[in-house]
Amino acid sequence: MAIRYHKEETGYLPKGRRLLSAWLREVALEERNCRIEELNYIFCSSEKHRAMNIQFVGHDYFTDIITFDYSSLKEGYVAGDVYIDVETVRDNARIYGTTFGREMHRVIVHGLLHLCGQKDKTPHAEKQMHRKEDKYLALLDEMVGKAAGLKD
């Protein structure tokens, strides 16, 4: 049940990783009644991410996330490597009028939702993905609130 956070060609790692990991475990349970077997979040530069996008996906453009899925939903677990372009997430936060932290959390849960089987290639599936992201961001807010309450 390992969730790990790595950085490559960037100085960024998310804060509150223990709480993030608890949140992600809850999302996997709620979404697919699955455990997280092995989940690696790799935060990287735009250059590295774009090179991976070209090499593995065949797309020559910047994107915020690439997910490599090693899950076995039939066996009841999710596993994968989730590469996140920190610079593109920062740019998207400005474009969408949100904070960098909020956008990063959205992208983090987006990757897990893909591992849980959620697609986003059609307009309907994209709307469903966005609703689920919002639902789980609200869960994170609730967990952060409860954790803050424990510190009082």
> Shortest CA distance to 80 belongs to which of 116, 53, 54?
116
- Sort residue 16 into left (φ over 0), alpha (ψ -120 to 50) or beta: left
pLDDT of residue 106: 98
For residue 35, what are the β-bridge partners?
77
Non-local CB neighbours of 139 within 8 Å, separated by 6+ positions:
23, 26, 27, 30
pLDDT of residue 152: 47
pLDDT of residue 56: 87
pLDDT of residue 151: 59
> Tokens in use for 55?
């090499």
For residue 82, what are the β-bridge partners?
41, 67
Cα 51 to Cα 3: distance, rounded to the nearest angstrom: 25
pLDDT of residue 105: 98
pLDDT of residue 128: 97
Q: Is 53 within 8 Å of 59 (Cβ atoms)?
A: yes
pLDDT tens by residue, the chain, 152 residues: 799 999 999 999 999 999 999 999 999 999 989 999 999 999 999 999 999 989 888 878 789 999 999 999 899 999 999 999 999 999 999 999 999 999 999 999 999 999 999 999 999 999 999 999 999 999 999 999 988 887 54
Q: Is 80 within 8 Å of 111 (Cβ atoms)?
A: yes
